Amino acid sequence: MKNTLSQRTINRLTQYHTILRDYTKKDIDYITSSQIANLLTMDETQVRKDVKQINCKGKCKVGYQVKELKNIIEKVLDYNTTKHAFVIGAGNLGMALSKYSKFSEFGLDIVCLFDTDKNKIGKLAGEKHIYSLEELPEKVKELNINIAILTIPNKFAQDVCDFLVKSGIKYIWNFTPTVLKVNDDIKVWNENLIGSFIQFCAISNVK
């Protein structure tokens, strides 16, 4: 099913899911499309269209059952299959992501980190080992992991990316503000925090 959804729909579904989690924690049973729309300052019709697309039915005047809609989104977007990943770069951001406990609740398991700095190699980030980047190819094979989270200085990004791909990595969650050159079979997802902030400022007219 997820293959038939557009990128923008998937984006919105992850936002609905965030709201549904909050409602679940507050033990609220029902939510209306207008409540969701208000929280996200978006159009109610869009919410209804998205929810219909994933085959969830609401009750007239009551809304959607929170747990049901949450479960359907989790099923459609595959929240519940654990994905194992490596963090490349044990700097401040790499360490922060590795220690972030919320990730595991959403099926992201950061297994270990890699760095080239001798002062970091062999140490721990929380409970996770920091290995030498040279050991990556064997770890990829040994653990059968093909997702890398890239948090290294910009200037090394492309070279390290090439090394990751050569080592068997197929999916790169890229936190460096660089557009990486890769072949079509490698998927890169750019998490450009600076670009995101610039967007925020431009859209909100920050002065």
- The residue ranges that bind a second copy (CB under 8 A) are 2-3, 5, 7, 10-11, 14-15, 17-19, 21-22, 39-40, 77-79, 81, 83, 91-93, 95-97, 99-100, 102-103, 106-108, 147, 154, 171, 173, 177-179, 181, 187, 189-207
Residues 6+ apart with CB under 8 A from 52: none
Where are any strands of DSSP class E within the chain? 30-31, 64-65, 83-88, 108-115, 124-125, 128-132, 147-150, 171-174, 187-190
- Minimum distance, C-beta of residue 122 to a second copy, in the bound complex (Å): 21
- Minimum distance, C-beta of residue 170 to a second copy, in the bound complex (Å): 8
Residue 38 vs 45, nearer CB to a second copy: 38
Residues 6+ apart with CB under 8 A from 144: none
Residue 60 vs 194, nearer CB to a second copy: 194
- Minimum distance, C-beta of residue 174 to a second copy, in the bound complex (Å): 10
- Minimum distance, C-beta of residue 66 to a second copy, in the bound complex (Å): 14
Sheet containing 83-88: give its strands across.
124-125, 128-132, 108-115, 83-88, 147-150, 171-174, 187-190
